[in-house]
Amino acid sequence: MEVTPFVGEPLALDLVNTRPRVSAGAVDLIADGKGLRAWLELEKDRLSEVNPSDLVSISVKDLGHIHAVRDSLAMALDHRMRGLGLPAAAVEGLNAAMRAAPAVQRLEWGDPPLLKSQREGSAAVRLAAFLAQDAAELLAGPGGQQIRKCEAEDCVMLFVGSNARRRWCSAARCGNRVRVSRYYRRSKTP
């Protein structure tokens, strides 16, 4: 069964949302290089530092760097949504990824002059550092206080609930299913 990644939230949440639950159970949409490349293709407009041609070289072993960022962020978000402090292991996981390939600013002279970030290391380490930085910015920013889990029983997707009335990851994805289910239950009740 083909599962389409849920994208459109902040990049860090889209990363955590690469582990949706389907009828057969939890799936990992970036378990291999092909899945990672497909997800990155959907996110390409937000990946200013990532060179798509570098991603061809990412092996299953290299995916561990990206999975570690996702795991650290998922742990931090879980604690945050439950009103707990961020666990030291999650914070250190994100910091370690950022330290492995810190962003260095570089001026490119032209018309107009541009200031660009540059990172050293393998493609996977650079990508993990970029994703960890995005995650840290989300956690430290105002959106970090508004992260919620979809209210559909069988959904694990996260979203920024900037609208207090928003209850589902997507009105089309879960909202419609919940409304149809309620209608069906009401219509079956004698």
Q: Which residues pair with 105 in a beta bridge?
A: 117
Cα separation of the two ends of the chain: 37
pTM of the predicted structure, to 2 decimals = 0.85
Over the stretch 113-126, which tens digit does the pLDDT of each residue have? Answer: 988 888 998 889 99
The tokens for 182 are 């309620």
Over the stretch 50-100, which tens digit does the pLDDT of each residue have? Answer: 776 777 778 778 899 999 999 999 999 999 999 999 999 999 999 999 999
Q: Could you give the percent of the chain with pLDDT greater than 70?
A: 91
Q: State whether CATH 1.10.3300.10 applies to domain 11-188.
A: yes
Contact between 178 and 168 (Cβ < 8 Å): yes
Over the stretch 25-53, which tens digit does the pLDDT of each residue have? Answer: 789 999 998 898 889 889 988 987 777 67
Closest by CA position to 126, among listed 29, 41, 57, 34: 57
d(CA 111, CA 178): 53
Cβ contacts of 166-170, under 8 Å, gap ≥ 24 = 169/6, 169/17, 170/6
d(CA 140, CA 5): 25
d(CA 148, CA 160): 6
d(CA 86, CA 77): 8
**Token pair 């990824």: residue:** 97
Res 190 pLDDT > 70: no
**Token pair 């959106």: residue:** 143
Closest by CA position to 97, among listed 77, 126, 138: 126
Average pLDDT, the chain: 86
Q: Rounded mean pLDDT of 100-107?
A: 91
